Amino acid sequence: MTDPNWNADGEIEGARREPGARPYGILLVDDEPGILESLELTLGSDYRVFKAESGEAGLEILNAEEIALIIVDQVMPSMTGVEFLEKAIERNPRAIRMLLTGYSDLGSLARAINEGRIYSYVTKPWEPDDVRLNVKRALETYELATENIQLAAALSEANERLRAENVYLRREVERRYAFDQILGSSPAMERVFDVMEKVAETDATVLITGETGTGKDLVARAIHYSGPRKQRRFVAQNCAALPDTLLESELFGHKRGSFTGAHADKKGLFEIAHRGTIFLDEVGETHPGMQVRLLRVLQDGEIRSLGASNSINVDVRVIAATNRNLLEDVAQKRFREDLYYRLRVVEIALPPLRERRSDIPLLAHHFLDFASRKMNRKIQGFTNAAMDRLVAAEWSGNVRELENEIERIVALSGDVETIGVEMLSERLRNEPPPAETPGEVPTDLPLNTAVDGLKRRMITDAIRETGSKTRAAARLGIPRQSLQKMMKRLGLS
Ligand SMILES: Nc1ncnc2c1ncn2[C@@H]1O[C@H](COP(=O)(O)OP(=O)(O)OP(=O)(O)O)[C@@H](O)[C@H]1O
Ligand SMILES: [Mg+2]
């Protein structure tokens, strides 16, 4: 077995830095030149050795040279070794410090070691190999410490980067759920934005109603992320997704052993959302027992976990959503009336897409841009005929259905510039655009007046909903010029 400390000549090998790096610098301080000489002889072949015959001279070298290890004699005329090391620490705190000492002054030595001033000591007289080994170990310590400092610096830099990234991500999330992600310029949506803006600033409980896919989720998040609670949690729970007991434990938490399978205490979402917002999706699906518990939180801000003996207070803003007609459920005694009114402090009713067709072109383009970018396509837009179909479709799945339709088209589109009717899904292609509901047939008007009235309504609707006269004309099935003439005659601008 070869000892890694010994070289071929039977000497202790010096501590090596990585190949190519300068050997370590060692500062020797002693007032006896003979000792300096002999130490230099022991260490000079492996290291860069600097000699000083006094503490003062040693400090000057420390200022000028890169020193990894200091060996200093304890007994010197102008300053002691320990005094010298005190000063050396200020100049080069990382250098490893060793004391040369006779057995006579072990007392000061012990003190110096205890105070962490020195790493080790060499007693006079010394064995050259002892010194070499001691120095080698000391320099390995120095190397580790240096590496530690570098790692710590790298770590703190990485932390800094992560922190910056977190700030960025948080902003992203906020941006993602900010108002500007909710598109719509129809009067109906303008009204929705108006209410949202006002209500976001407050803690008022909000009930969001609307058919599936109308954007209830989106609106709930936007309210949270644009209000004063945005730094706190937004937690969402779909009340239809879980059986009763599980929903209860999810929302209110449970104590260990409160039911089979409750192996540990669990915090409920109301507690987790403290100071933030809880979103109770599909609140209309809750059972009577749950409705009572919800009422209690809304009234008193109190929750009690399953199996707990006490209630605790929470400060949570509640936003609820439903695609049911809750008022009808109240009438049918399926939903508690008191809870309904507690939830519906402010109601935001999202209109179905078919009642705001003028938003369809905007939404369609938005989803097209998004999907094109995601799938690396260069589609610019829709042909007029395709857009007419989109505007006129039924969209029982509302915005979500439109979004899916466009994503599907883009995925299957290949390399085209515009989306034509032939690329729409079969249902949209084949179903004739639903006729406008004519409404009541007027019985008290001359036929021509009544017909003109209907024409006026259909034309204004078509223009409002398609956003252009060309598309309106196409939708109405008449040439653009005829539309213009007709509008003039009917007094439409
Ligand atoms: N006004 C809008 N602008 C942009 N995207 C919208 C808009 N409304 C809805 N969306 C998009 O449509 C999809 C459905 O919206 P969301 O999930 O909010 O609907 P929902 O009313 O919660 O539906 P459900 O009742 O089925 O839960 C989402 O991808 C959402 O981003
Ligand atoms: Mg939803």
Q: Which 3-state string (H, E, C) describes 94-153?
A: CCEEEEEECHHHHHHHHHHHHCCCCCEEEECCCCHHHHHHHHHHHHHHHHHHHHHHHHHH
Residue 27: DSSP 8-state:
E
Domain count, the chain: 4
Same domain, 343 and 368: no
Helices 398-412, 360-374: inter-axial angle, 10-degree rounding: 40
Map tokens 């009690």 to a residue: 304
Geometric angle at alpha carbon 358, from 466 and 196, rounded to 5°: 165
Residue 359: DSSP 8-state:
G
Same domain, 358 and 273: no
Beta bridge pairs of residue 123: 101
pLDDT in tens, the chain (493 residues): 445 566 666 666 777 666 667 889 999 999 999 999 999 999 999 999 999 999 999 999 999 999 999 999 988 888 888 889 989 988 998 899 998 887 666 666 777 776 667 787 888 888 888 889 989 988 988 888 888 888 888 888 888 778 777 776 776 566 556 677 899 988 999 999 999 999 999 999 999 999 999 999 999 999 998 899 998 899 999 999 888 888 999 999 998 888 777 778 889 999 999 999 999 999 999 999 999 999 999 999 999 998 888 999 999 999 999 999 999 999 999 999 999 999 999 999 999 999 999 899 999 999 999 999 989 999 989 998 898 899 989 999 999 999 999 999 999 998 899 999 999 999 888 765 544 444 455 555 567 777 777 888 888 888 888 888 888 888 888 888 889 988 888 777 7
Evaluate whether 96 touches 138 at the Cβ level (below 8 Å): yes
- Decide which of 324, 351, 378 is a domain's last residue: 351
Distance CA 188, CA 184 (A): 9
Closest ligand to Cα 350: 1
Atom of ligand 1 nearest to the CA of 211: 25
CA of 145 to the centre of ligand 1 (A): 56
Same domain, 317 and 226: yes
8 in a domain, yes or no?
no
CA of 236 to the centre of ligand 2 (A): 10
Which residue is closest in CA terms to ligand 1's atom 13?
Answer: 400
140 in a domain, yes or no?
yes
Which residue is closest in CA terms to ligand 1's atom 8?
Answer: 215
Coil, strand or helix: which one is 40?
A: helix
Give me the helices (H) in 382-468, please.
Answer: 384-392, 398-412, 426-430, 447-466
Atom of ligand 1 nearest to the CA of 350: 21
Closest ligand to Cα 236: 2
Closest ligand to Cα 322: 1
- Decide which of 351, 378, 402 is a domain's last residue: 351
Same domain, 212 and 192: yes
439 in a domain, yes or no?
no
191 in a domain, yes or no?
yes
CATH code for the domain of 290: 3.40.50.300
CA of 344 to the centre of ligand 1 (A): 21
CA 336 to each of CA 280, 287, 330: distance values in angstroms, whole numbers, following the listed order: 16, 10, 6
**One-letter amino acid identity for 488?**
K
16 in a domain, yes or no?
no
pLDDT at 103: 64
Closest ligand to Cα 324: 1
Same domain, 422 and 295: no
Domain of 475, in residue numbers: 447-490
Atom of ligand 1 nearest to the CA of 359: 1
Which residue is closest in CA terms to ligand 1's atom 28?
Answer: 400
Residue 357: DSSP 8-state:
G
- Decide which of 133, 148, 163 is a domain's last residue: 148
Using CA atoms in the order 228, 233, 236, 242, what is the torsion angle rounded to 10 degrees?
-140
Same domain, 360 and 406: yes
Same domain, 201 and 334: yes
Pocket of ligand 1 (CB under 6 A): 182-184, 210, 212-218, 323, 363, 399-400, 403
Same domain, 217 and 97: no
Map tokens 């300068």 to a residue: 22
- Outline where DSSP puts E strands in 289-345: 302-303, 312-313, 317-322
Pocket test for ligand 1, best of 225, 400, 407 (most atoms within 8 A of CB): 400
Same domain, 243 and 360: no
Same domain, 144 and 183: no
Same domain, 219 and 329: yes
pLDDT at 404: 96
Atom of ligand 1 nearest to the CA of 215: 18
172 in a domain, yes or no?
no
Distance CA 306, CA 257 (A): 10
**One-letter amino acid identity for 54?**
S
CATH code for the domain of 138: 3.40.50.2300
Closest ligand to Cα 208: 1
CA of 5 to the centre of ligand 1 (A): 71
419 in a domain, yes or no?
yes
CATH code for the domain of 397: 1.10.8.60
Which residue is closest in CA terms to ligand 1's atom 26?
Answer: 212
Atom of ligand 1 nearest to the CA of 366: 4
Same domain, 275 and 396: no
Question: Which positions ≥6 away from 181 have C-beta within 8 Å?
Answer: 175, 218, 222
Distance CA 123, CA 126 (A): 6
153 in a domain, yes or no?
no
CA of 424 to the centre of ligand 2 (A): 26
pLDDT at 88: 92
Coil, strand or helix: which one is 6?
A: strand
Which residue is closest in CA terms to ligand 1's atom 5?
Answer: 182
Nearest to 465 by CA among 363, 372, 380, 349: 363
Evaluate whether 368 touches 381 at the Cβ level (below 8 Å): yes
